[in-house]
Amino acid sequence: MPNTEQPDFDEDFEQAVARWRERHKLREDDAVLLLVELFRIHQRHWDELRRREIPSFEQFRADITKLAEITRTFQAQSAALLDVLRKLPSTHLAARVTRTAAFFAALASLLAGYLIGRAWP
């Protein structure tokens, strides 16, 4: 099982700053140390902003699980709809026009065109 506890780098950082201060013989109120402290405040602020903006991995996992469930439901409902549509009787045969009906419609339109042409000179 993965370790979910975040490592604490603050103590390591404090020790590194103490060694650096000792090596360069800096006082506690030196301006450089104040800048280091200001940087740490800045870093904590941005870390907190990132923590608020980025969703947790558990939330991401829950969203992916929901998406997978929705996908399975959609696929099942689509398959059921396709089965129902395949079982319906075919309607394209009822709307088919026979050759005889098409012939008489063409003949009627030619006759109507001829008569209209004769009526309007």
Per residue in 56-108, pLDDT tens?
Answer: 788 888 999 999 999 999 999 999 999 998 888 776 655 678 899 999 999 99
> Of 33, 31, 27, which is closest to residue 13 (Cα–Cα)?
33
- The average confidence (pLDDT) of the chain is 83
Indicate whether 37 pLDDT > 80.
Answer: yes
The answer to whether 17 and 36 are in contact (CB under 8 A) is yes
Whole-model pTM over 0.85: no
> What is the number of other CB atoms lying within 10 angstroms of the CB of residue 4?
7
Q: What is the DSSP string of 75-117?
A: HHHHHHHHHHHHHSPP-TTTTPPPHHHHHHHHHHHHHHHHHHH
